[in-house]
Structure 1
Amino acid sequence: MTNTEIVTRKEIIRQAEKLATLIAQSAEVDFFKRAEQQIKKNDKVQQLIAEIKRLQKHAVHYEHYEKSKALEETEAKLEKLHEELDQIPVVQEFKQSQKDVNDLLQLVTNVISNTVTDKIIESTGGDVLKGETGGGPNLSCPLR
C-alpha cells in the first residue's frame, strides 16, 4: 500500500476485526477465560456472590425507603463479604487477569493513537519529536 492510497472505513473495520481476533487468542485472554471458569466452579465464591447480590438488593430497598440504619448495617456486611471474596486466591487471579486484558487493550489503543498521530505529522512534513505538523507558521490553521 502506498502512502497516498486512501483506505475505506470498511477496510479499517476489517483490519480491526483481525486485530480483535489476535487479541482474543492472546495469553492474557486465555488466562482470563480459564480464571473465569475457576470462579464459576468454586462453590464458596458462588455463595459469596449470591449473598452479595441479595444484600445489594436490600441496600437499594433501604436507600429508597430512607432506612439509613438498615442501609448502614447492610453496607457494612457487604464490605465484609467483598473483603472475604477478595482474599480467595482464584478471585485474586481472576481480577489480575481482568487487569492484564484491560492493560493489553489500553496498550493497543495507545499504539494505534500514537501511530496515527505520528503518521499525520510525518505526512505533513512535521517533526514527530516536537509533535508538530509541517507547513510552517504561514500554513497553520487560523482557529486560535
Structure 2
Amino acid sequence: METRDFQYEAEVQEQLDRLIEALGKNEVIEDYKQIAQQVNHHEGLKQLVESIKALQKDAVQFAHYDKPEAEREAIRLADEKQREFDEHPLVMLYREKLIEANDLLQHVTYLLEKQVNQDLEEKLEEVRKEE
C-alpha cells in the first residue's frame, strides 16, 4: 500500500503546527501524558501484564493438548490478574485521563470540522451568487 505525505500550504502548516503545540501544552493532555508515563514505567503493572500474557498462552496450550481442567484454571487465573490490573488505582486514573484527553481532541476536531464546513458553504454561496 502506497502512502503519500500531504503537503499543506505554508500558512495552513504553520497553523496546524501551532495547534498541535498548543494541544501538547494543554493541562488535560499534559496530565494524560504524565499518567501514561507512570503506567509504562510501573514495574508491578509490567509484571501483571506479563503474567496475564503467560496465563493466556498457557490456556491456549492446554486447550491444544485437550486439558480442559488446566485450561479453565489458567483462564481463571488470567481473569483474576486482569481484574487486579483493571482495578489498580494508576490504571483507573490512566483511563480517566485518557477519556478526558479523547473528549478534548474530539471537541477540537468537531470545532475544526464545523468551521471548515461553514467556510466552504460561504465560499460556495459566493460562487453561486457570481454565476
- TM-score of the pair, normalised by structure 1: 0.65
C-alpha RMSD over aligned residues: 3.1
1:75-134 alpha-carbon deviations (Å, 9 max, x no partner): 4333322211121111111111111122222112111111111111122239xxxxxxx8
Structure-2 residue corresponding to 1:31: 31
Structure-2 residue corresponding to 1:50: 50
Question: Quick one: distance in 1 between partners of 2:77 and 2:29?
Answer: 33
Structure-2 residue corresponding to 1:10: 9
Which amino acid in structure 1 is aligned with residue 48 of structure 2? L
Structure-2 residue corresponding to 1:93: 93
Structure-2 residue corresponding to 1:106: 106
Structure-2 residue corresponding to 1:78: 78
Greater per-residue helix proportion: 2
| 1:51, distance to aligned residue in structure 2 (A) | 0.9
Indicate the SS of the match to 1:9: coil
1:58-81 alpha-carbon deviations (Å, 9 max, x no partner): 455567x48583555444333322
Indicate the SS of the match to 2:9: helix
| Stretch moving more, 48-57 or 37-46 | 37-46
Question: Quick one: distance in 2 between partners of 1:85 and 1:20?
Answer: 32
Structure-1 residue corresponding to 2:119: 119
Runs of 4+ in structure 1 displaced over 6 angstroms? Answer: none
Which amino acid in structure 1 is aligned with residue 49 of structure 2? I
Tell me how many residue pairs correspond in the alignment. Answer: 122
| 1:135, distance to aligned residue in structure 2 (A) | 4.3
Which amino acid in structure 2 is aligned with residue 21 of structure 1? E
- For structure 2, the residue ranges without an aligned partner over 5 or more in a row are 1-6
